[in-house]
Structures are given as structure tokens and as C-alpha cells.
Amino acid sequence: TPVSDSLETLTPTTEPESSIPSWIKNNAGWWAQELIDDGSFVSGIQWLISNDVMNIPPTEQAADSGSDVIPDWIKNNAGWWSNGMIPDEAFVSGLQWLISNGIMKIS
């Protein structure tokens, strides 16, 4: 068999760095599977927003809606997002909905 004198160039493939840390995607997946509670999930999101790790476009916060129940469609989105099935923007729009409807408070 002939020996090739050419060198194969290996180019490392790197994922573009996401603006949202992977640990929050883990939390979203766990929350969607009901392995962590709503409060733990919301606390992580609040920390990310208050520390400017995740930017939520301006959203008017509603007064307390009287309900702290997070709809199932938000939990479905979190699961899909954690698996890379929907983009960050779709997940963020759900968070905006939670804020604008007074379900999630950002202090």
C-alpha cells in the first residue's frame, strides 16, 4: 500500500458560546421533567436576569396576577429548549410572558 506524504488537517469543531449558560438549560430540562420545583427554576432565571447573564428585552411587569401557577406550555418550552429543539429566543419569549402576566417577578 502506498504511503501518503500529505498531512490531514484537523480542525476542531467548537460550539458557538451561548449567551445562556448550559447549567440553566439543565435546570430547564429537570424542571420540565418535574425533577426540580417551580421555585428552584424561577430562582435560577431571576439570578440570571439580575446578574445580566441573560437579557430579557424590556417587558412591563404586571401587578400580581393572583396566580403563581406556571402554565404547562412554558414547561414544555423549557424541556424543548433544554434539548435544543427551540431557539433561545422562543424560550425568552415565554419568560417575557411570565413577567408581563405577573407570574414571575424580577426584583
Residue percentage of the chain with pLDDT more than 90 = 26
Top pLDDT among 81 and 13 is at 81
Q: Transcribe 33-58 into DSSP letters.
A: TTSS-HHHHHHHHHHHHHTTSSPPPP
Query: Under 8 Å CB-to-CB from 4, ≥6 apart: which residues?
Result: none
Residue 75 scores a pLDDT above 80: yes
Kindly list the distances between the CA atom of residue 26 and the CA atoms of 23, 34, 35, in Å, as whole numbers in the listed order.
Answer: 5, 12, 11
pLDDT band at 29 (very low <50, low <70, confident <90, very high): very high
This prediction has a pTM of 0.66
Q: Which helix (H) or strand (E) holds 92?
A: helix 88-100
Lowest pLDDT segment from 6-15, 58-67, 69-78, 98-107 = 6-15
In angstroms, the CA 44 to CA 21 distance is 11
